[in-house]
Amino acid sequence: MDSGVRIEVDITDLTKALSALSGLDQLDTEQLMSDIGARLEFSMQERITTTKTAPDGTPWPANIEGTSILMRTGDHMLGSVAWTASATETEAGLSWEYAHVHQDGMTISAKNAKLLSFVVGGRRVSKKSVTIPARPVVGISAEDATKIDQLATRFVAGKLGGGQ
């Protein structure tokens, strides 16, 4: 009696898929990088105006006046949200010269006088130093990572003829 196992593999679809993949290294990805930059811009603006949270979801510390954090002196921070993209990378961040103070936090001490003097809530305050807590704006949140993954997946699927 003839007994045995026969396995047959049809790689027609695999050959087509591999053929489609072979051109992916030559893709113009500048639009994808721009879409990622726009997503990061949206997230940073939303952190400043609405959520008041760091990219990791940590709520920002309240300020002493109870005003809208990072918006009190105008649109310096919000107006400095910027991104740039090329075919190989996206850079996103804040261009305002004092953005690093809010991103990382800082202690400011009097240098040319014994005390710092400023107005808080209509009252003059004098202190030897003031600590500004970190209120990170720049970074990729879990939601950003998911959205970027979706953008990249749609982009590649579109190039492979899979649509969305």
Q: Is 70 left (phi over 0), alpha (psi -120 to 50) or beta?
A: left
pLDDT computed for residue 157 by the predictor: 84
**What's the pTM?**
0.77
Q: What counts of helices (H) and strands (E) characterise the chain?
A: 5, 6
Are the CB atoms for 151 and 39 separated by under 8 Å?
Answer: yes
Burial (CB count within 10 angstroms: exposed 0-12, middle 13-18, buried 19+), residue 57: exposed
What pLDDT score does 140 carry? 94
Per DSSP, the three-state class of 33 is: helix
What per-residue confidence (pLDDT) applies to 75?
62
pLDDT in tens, the chain (164 residues): 556 565 665 666 766 766 766 766 677 889 999 999 999 999 999 999 889 999 999 999 887 776 666 766 556 788 899 999 998 889 999 998 889 999 999 999 999 999 999 887 788 999 999 999 999 999 999 999 999 999 999 988 887 775 54
Backbone angles phi, psi at 82, to 5 degrees: -150, 155
Query: What is the pLDDT at residue 18?
Result: 67
Give all strands (DSSP E) within 39-162, no chain letters: 81-85, 90-94, 106-109, 116-120, 123-127, 129-132
pLDDT of residue 83: 92
